[in-house]
Chains A and B, each alone.
Chain A
Amino acid sequence: MREVTVGIGGAAGDGLDKTGDTLAKTAARLGLYVYAYNSYQSVIRGGHIWLRVRIGERKLTSHGDHLNVLIALNQDSIERHAREVEPGGAVLYNSDRLKLDPTLLRDHVLPVPLPVSAITKPLGKVPAVMQNTVALGALLFLIGLDFETAVGVLTDTFKHKGQAVIDQNVAVLRAGYEYAKEHFVPLGYRWTFTHVRRPFITGNEAFAIGAVTAGCKFYSAYPMTPASSILHWMAAHADRCGIVVKQCEDELAVVNMAIGAGYAGVRAMCGTSGGGFALMTEAIGQAGMIEAPVVVIEVQRGGPSTGLPTKTEQGDLNQVFGASQGDYPRVIIAPGDVAECFSAVVTAFNLAEKYQLPVILMSDLLLSEHPETIEPEDLRYDVPIERGELVTEWDEAKGRYKRYAFTRSGVSPRALPGTEGAAHVAATDDHDEEGILISDVFTSPPVRRKIHEKRMRKLDAVLRELPPPVLEGPEDAEVTLIGWGSTKGVIREAVEKLAEEGIRANRLHIMYLFPFHAREVAEILRRCRKTICVEANYSGQFARYLRAETGISVDAHIRKYDGEPFEPRYIVERVKAILEGRPLSLEVTEEEAREIAYHYIRTHLDEDARPGRISRLERDGFEEPIWNVEIVSRETGRKRGRVLIGIETGSTYRWEPEESAS
């Protein structure tokens, strides 16, 4: 398969997301597939941002393992990523401001210095951020993407800013393109453009569009990364779509308003991340108790507490399972990719209304914020809308309306406020069929038993309605990779790579977390030869749940909790190590030592410093082996000192400046 991965590195405020978006949309309009991931930080200006845009002729389900072209917008990005560029690739940079040390490049990597001010001089004064557009123009030429298609994307992007802005952007793009054409030869990508137009969409956009398509009329939220982009989309489209979008004072209000709206009869949803969800938990139990439909999206980020606000993790499973005191019926769904975000929210609303319960959708920063191309038919207009049994009028001559009638299915036909003859109280204290409390004066153990059973019985029908997971790949595989949520795509690619290396693997991905297909999953797992659970958390929360539900302990684990998503190669290497019986090393690698040194430099030293040679020292007065990272001057190349980093603990023991350094 032909594919290219372009990395764009810079600081927050460099505008690289726009550049990445233009590149991605250009490729998508040409009929190519795109998957992008932005590794960003919780800062508005500065820091290090690393956006990867992977483009290929076939569906891509992760950002992959490769780097073919680097667009470096600052010096850090050159130093940190130039060595990752693979032979046949190129490094583009603004040579007015940045320097590329050729020793950083692997063989057959093309340095592409762009003298931005000379290139843009004929265009008069242009904003500094347009260095990105120059680089993008040059990139289009180097990787063989169609220039006019990119012009179309820019035209649409800047339509709201007027023709002058469009013209300037196009002129700068052209200048970059022409400069590259004059000075370089293309890198040799020969694409087949199908011109099939596909949506380029994030998980959060899919949640929002899915919700609107399914009839969501109320969305409430409190700003919290990485769920906020649902709020932004909803707010921007509220008028057109006829939704009430409410930013609330806190997540307590968020979920209680959504429950109030759901009780009153509109399809209501709210979204948050782990910290906000923690505040919502009592109310989610309330929705279970009063049998009000509501959809709650929990977009995980690195935890606990404030944790890693802009990094990904799958560490909230225990919290979501444990949300609220007592037992109550609820559904937990973890879509595995962007297309499933759309379909899962449709399912969520139908289940919430048919079974009158809260439905929690679990996502994470990776799934919610990364954009990818999906098939147009993944976003259907005519989704099923099932509201369940509604009482539209009640003749009181037939007796009092029983809001919580004890039915065989456990579902009691619902009357919305405003319905003639069906007034009742929906109470969070436990209650009888009519809604009269059984908590205070009228305690009744048998009534309590029967209403509790009635509520919980609804889950039997929910489970029957949900499709059980299936094993994908060869039945007789040597190894089975088990995952849930956002790891679906990367596990799929890892399985393909394993096959290329002669290891037969299959995979089991689980989307419906609760109620759980325990019997079906146990049957599948019993047939597997070696099971490995892949999840982005420290303790293996999902593996533990699997064991609780099926009695089966997986044979091995692949876990990650550094905030960055899995990559296929990482999984492949771990699978091979597990099959060969090699233990997992938690030592700091040389690459990691360089990043730890960067961290030290950025927090304690200055812009002139950068890591140089790295060597390993055995002990050297510490109780562990040490990475000895030389720190050199960017300006002069002179050694300025060294940073000593423990290979086992990762401790930055010391910064030792050179005696001669001023």
Chain B
Amino acid sequence: MATVIELPIETYAGPVDPDWCPGCGDFGVLKAVKMAAGKLGIRPKDLVIVSGIGCSSNLPGFIHAYGVHSLHGRAVAVAEGIKLANHELHVVVTGGDGDGYGIGVGHFIHAMRRNIDITYVVMNNQIYGLTTGQASPTTMKEVRTKSTPRGNPEPPINPIALALVSGATYVARGFSGDPEHLAQLIAGGIAHRGFALIDVFSPCVTYNKVNTYPWFKQRVYKLEEEAGYDPSDVMAALHKSFEWGDRIPIGLFYRDEHPIYEDSEPALRRGPLVRHPLRPERAVFEELIEELM
């Protein structure tokens, strides 16, 4: 492997400042994404950040890299298309819990099942922020929001468990209150060959008055510091994914090497599709016509 030349975080300074509320958890995630890219020495031209719609999905606009700010819920699908077209690019999807676990949950599950080599960073604030505070797929039961004034009647999705059973090969959870640790997890996800999910507790300081920084700080602990925890054991990871109460684990739940989707595509063995000559060979064309005779 070539020596990595780390790049400073300023390399990725975006054209405009984020428009998030002061104190928003997404600032920490933005910083961590830049740090992760810098650690891996990824040049801005080789990095594509794809997002959907939501506060957190504005992230591509705040980082110097290629970006697609796509539709609500569709970022993963757009990212898969980009990756298959040019698999030499580093494709990172950034978005929120509504985008990924609600309207886009179908793409999320199927992308994991494919084990396509993209990294998905979900800024999970357990609320719809951009639309001013409705319940999201990860809002805890009984929590009151603008759309659930009597308390949320639905239990939340468990993204870590869902990722594990759907076939993701790198499953982690970070906390935007600890950008250094988060940056390591994201860098690990980008470097990992296969689908990587990094679910991030990224508090919404405006609309989520329950899952606040202090709420998380009191509860989170790092799996890396848990004696005997083995991230290659999927059943252990699944067990940990259900831990939610006084103690909530963050860190790397699971990592394993499996063939990636791109390996199954013969066309990609000749290098990125985007560099293939457009016209088929004349002999191939003539065979296609001959089949019709």
Contact = CB atoms under 8 A, between A and B. Distances in A.
Interface of A: 25, 28-29, 197-201, 205, 209, 212-215, 217-218, 220, 237-244, 246, 248-250, 252-253, 256-268, 282-283, 286, 290, 376, 379, 381, 385, 400, 416-429, 434-437, 440-442
A244 B293 contact: no
B293 A248 contact: no
Contacts of A427: 60-61, 67-69
A242 B284 CA distance: 10
A212 B280 contact: yes
Nearest to B59: A425
B236 to A, nearest CB: 29
Contact of A240 (B66, B85, B270, B287): B287
Given A381-B285, A423-B45, A249 B86 contact: no
Contact of A209 (B79, B110, B268, B288): B288
Contacts of B83: 260
Contact of A242 (B81, B89, B280, B288): B280
A440 B16 CA distance: 12
Contact of A248 (B15, B89, B110, B286): B110
Contacts of A200: 292-293
Given A213-B279, A422-B45, 16 more contacts: A212-B280, A238-B267, A244-B273, A253-B74, A256-B74, A257-B84, A260-B79, A263-B78, A266-B273, A286-B71, A379-B289, A381-B285, A427-B69, A429-B69, A437-B61, A440-B58
Given A213-B279, A217-B273, A249 B85 contact: no
B2 interface: no
A442 B107 CA distance: 31
Among the interface residues A246, A261, A441, which one has the most CB atoms of the partner chain B within 10 A? A261
Nearest to A385: B278
A445 to B, nearest CB: 19
B110 A256 contact: no
Contact of A257 (B45, B77, B268, B278): B77
B267 to A, nearest CB: 5
Given A290-B68, A418-B45, A252 B77 contact: yes
Contact of B77 (A205, A248, A434): A248
B66 A29 contact: no
Interface string B256-293: 00000000011110100110101110101111110011
A463 to B, nearest CB: 26
B102 interface: no
A442 B61 CA distance: 12
Contacts of B287: 240
Nearest to B61: A425
Contacts of B273: 217-218, 242, 244, 261, 266
Contacts of B65: 423
Contacts of B172: none
Contacts of B61: 425, 427, 435-437
Nearest to B265: A244
B237 to A, nearest CB: 24
B200 to A, nearest CB: 21
Contact of A243 (B74, B79, B267): B267
A241 B286 CA distance: 12
6 contacts: A199-B292, A253-B77, A263-B68, A263-B85, A267-B278, A417-B86
Contacts of A428: 53, 69-71
B68 A265 contact: no
Among the interface residues B71, B83, B286, which one has the most CB atoms of the partner chain A within 10 A? B71
A305 B209 CA distance: 44
A393 B248 CA distance: 48
A213 B267 contact: no
Nearest to B69: A427
Contacts of A244: 84, 265, 267-268, 273
A261 B16 CA distance: 27
A237 B83 CA distance: 21
A209 B288 CA distance: 8
Contact of A205 (B45, B89, B282, B292): B292
B86 A418 contact: yes
A241 to B, nearest CB: 5
Contacts of B74: 252-253, 256, 283, 286
B267 A264 contact: no
**Interface size, B (range):** 35 or more
B135 interface: no
A250 B292 contact: no
Contacts of A376: 289
B178 interface: no
A198 B293 CA distance: 6
A28 B60 CA distance: 57
Nearest to B107: A253
Given A244-B265, A283-B71, A261 B85 contact: yes
B77 A242 contact: no
Nearest to A383: B279
Nearest to A28: B293
Which 3 A-B pairs rank lowest in CB-CB distance, beginning with the nearest? A260-B81, A215-B278, A256-B77
Contact of A241 (B15, B78, B265, B284): B284
B187 interface: no
Contacts of A253: 74, 77, 80, 106-107, 110
Contacts of A436: 15-16, 61
B117 to A, nearest CB: 14
A249 B68 contact: no
A596 B107 CA distance: 45
A213 B274 contact: no
B69 A242 contact: no
B60 A419 contact: no
Contacts of A282: 71
A218 B274 CA distance: 10
A198 B289 CA distance: 9
A242 to B, nearest CB: 5
Nearest to A426: B68
A246 B58 CA distance: 28
Contact of A260 (B44, B64, B80, B110): B80
A416 B274 contact: yes
B82 A263 contact: yes
Contacts of B50: 260
Among the interface residues A258, A266, A286, A440, which one has the most CB atoms of the partner chain B within 10 A? A266
B69 A425 contact: yes
A218 B81 contact: yes
B279 A385 contact: yes
B103 to A, nearest CB: 9
A243 B270 CA distance: 11
A45 B286 CA distance: 36
Nearest to A427: B69
Given A28-B293, A379-B289, A428-B71, A264 B58 contact: no
A575 to B, nearest CB: 35
Among the interface residues B16, B267, B268, B293, which one has the most CB atoms of the partner chain A within 10 A? B293
A265 B274 contact: yes
Contacts of B66: 417-418, 423-425
Contacts of A25: 293
A416 B88 CA distance: 13
B10 interface: no
Given A252-B77, A253-B77, A257-B77, A199 B85 contact: no
A264 B84 CA distance: 9
B109 to A, nearest CB: 8
Nearest to B275: A265
A638 B71 CA distance: 66
B19 interface: yes
Given A199-B292, A237-B288, A418-B88, A257 B274 contact: no
Contact of A215 (B64, B85, B279): B279
Nearest to B78: A260
B48 interface: yes
Contacts of B45: 417-423
Given A237-B288, A266-B273, A434 B85 contact: no
Given A421-B45, A436-B15, A264 B278 contact: no
